[in-house]
A and B are shown apart, each in its own frame.
Chain A
Amino acid sequence: MAANTILQQGRFTSTGANTALSIRSDVDWMRIYNITQAAASQTTAIGVEYYWQRGFPADAAWEYKKAGSGVQGANLTTYNTSGGFTLIDTSSNPNGLINATVTALSNAAIPVVSNSGTNALSAGDIVRMFNVASASQVGGVDFTVGYNTLTAGTFSLDYMDTVVTGTTGSWMKVNYDPIFYPRRRTATKISKAVQAVVTLSVKHGYKVGQLVRMVVPAVYGMIQMDGLQATIVAVDTTTTSGNTITLDVDSSAFTTFAFPLSADSPFTMAEVVPMGEDTASALSAGVSTLTDATVNTAYIGMNLAAGVNSPAGASDDVIYWVAGTSFNVSNS
């Protein structure tokens, strides 16, 4: 490949959040142009162009600023060790740090975790809980968090059943889902109804027509559901209270489903295991008959940090990018 070859280029509008770009392998350098900020008159110097090349530490960036009218020439080029570029490979599923900062887990209908310090989470993030005293049943389980309650010191386990109050423990942000879709998910609630409604701990991504097998260990109570094959007849993706699937299973007369207690740990979690597709159901619902197809969702690319003076910019900034490769990289 010739030197300085451009691999890919593109444009996006910033949401104000970190942005992950899928870029093919061998990216050796990358430039970012924030045309919104470059076109505007600045009162203080602000980043309009960013550069990265292979060898930079994770999250670093070379930043070029546009000056404010009164600060011509002052610190217009900086090397930043944070808030920049980070190579990503989602197949390696890199997780966040384990934070031993949980101070409480509430017994509210939608449990809320309190943490010391700042959690830096966003609504919809996935968090894995660990070793919560008096509530160890949530240990090792992944949850979508933050749609109902989210502050620097609290986050809700949005689709979790009520638990007995917990105290100290740890949590970790799970950066990426398992790479293959459709994924097995953990069930937190199953209703007793003519058509059972199952709540999943993490946003499920299932579609109407998909076939699933229910795995409900005896510790959950609803043993009649264990091993049943069911078709998804409806999905609810409401972020605050939904994340459910409705099954063609009459659970009215089943034993009540109850999430295990702390004393029940260790146990096997109740699961929804995708297993195929009911083509007729999918067709009648007007969805693709291939939604059960196994798909590798992994990708490699670049994560851009968000914010003023960072490559992913602030909300509504229009950003152009170009990524390329070099014939040889010699970082000694």
Chain B
Amino acid sequence: MFNYTGKLKNSQDPQRLSGLEIYKTVYLCDSPTLFERLGGRNNKTPRQKWSVGYTPKVTESRQTEDQLTRDMLASTASFINCVSGINGDSPTEITRVDIDEVVQSLLSNNAYTIMDNIRGEDRFGTAPVRNAYFALCSTDLTSSLDSVNGFTQVNQYPAPMNALQSEWGAVGNLRFLISSIGSVTYNASNKTKDVYNVFCVGMEAYACIEQDGYSASFIYRPPIYDGPLALNASVGYKFAEVPRITNDLWVLNLRCTL
């Protein structure tokens, strides 16, 4: 949404939603539509330059929704521990056997796949990709995924340009989407290691419900309205919505270690 020249200070306390980082320059996005979705009012001149008293972490508004959904799934979704690995921990690292068990469960529970298959083409080093459920996980798992038997990297898809931006690859009927904010339960394995939660979801397994149609609002107050001396502007966001599992049989948390 924003290209900004600065970022949140490393030393800045995350609790300070209006923490100051003075005179950073930020630019509105080039997409008025996207900006308007955030509730932005001034989309007539989308490349407008601002000088404000706070680095607007506006991208966080959608990221916050993702984090809340992630935490809801981590709190409530049923889980399966990876048990077929060889690292000696409980749960173990992710393996093909564990992935197949999750897929089998989702299929047995009549969950619809989200993505259609990608038809094979006559190209070296590529392989067709099955219709698939999504597996949402942390970027820390990329090496583990590369080692899974039968893993197909995105660049081995017949049409990699059709892969999602966050997609890392596919195993069987699971396509893995990675994120730096993927779910991790710290110090939760038998050997005190971090446990990674891989949310394997079918179509419409969960939803974000906007309360009274109250979607995210992006709020910008220019300096003249934000203080008597018009020195600082403020930006922020708010939303009232709740993530919710719609069918508990269509989402499984595959827990694993590295």
Q: Tell me the A residues contacting B by CB distance below 8 Å.
A: 1, 25-27, 54, 87, 89, 91, 93, 95, 98, 128, 130-131, 136, 139-140, 170, 172, 178-184, 213, 215, 265-269, 271, 273-275, 294, 296, 298, 300, 328-329, 331
Contact = CB atoms under 8 A, between A and B. Distances in A.
B162 interface: no
Interface in B13-45: 13-20
B77 interface: yes
Contacts of A329: 16, 19-20
A25 B81 contact: no
Contact of A131 (B14, B92, B191): B191
B76 A87 contact: no
Size class of B's contact patch? 35 or more
Contacts of A128: 187-188
Given A25-B17, A265-B90, A275-B248, A213 B78 contact: yes
A98 B192 contact: yes
Contacts of B75: 178-181, 183-184
B192 A170 contact: yes
B77 A140 contact: no
13 contacts: A91-B71, A140-B188, A178-B76, A180-B71, A180-B74, A184-B75, A184-B77, A267-B90, A273-B77, A274-B76, A294-B243, A296-B242, A300-B15
B57 interface: no
B189 interface: yes
Given A136-B90, A180-B71, A95 B187 contact: yes
B258 interface: no
B78 A271 contact: yes
Contact of A180 (B18, B76, B78): B76
B16 A266 contact: no
A94 to B, nearest CB: 9
A83 B138 CA distance: 37
Nearest to A87: B15
A275 B249 CA distance: 9
Given A180-B75, A184-B76, A89 B15 contact: yes
B91 interface: yes
Nearest to B83: A266
A198 to B, nearest CB: 15
A266 B78 contact: no
Given A27-B15, A271-B79, A294-B76, A140 B248 contact: no
Contact of A25 (B15, B79, B189, B244): B15
Most buried by A among B15, B77, B89, B244: B15
B13 A54 contact: yes
B61 to A, nearest CB: 15
Most chain A CB atoms below 10 A, which of B18, B75, B82: B75
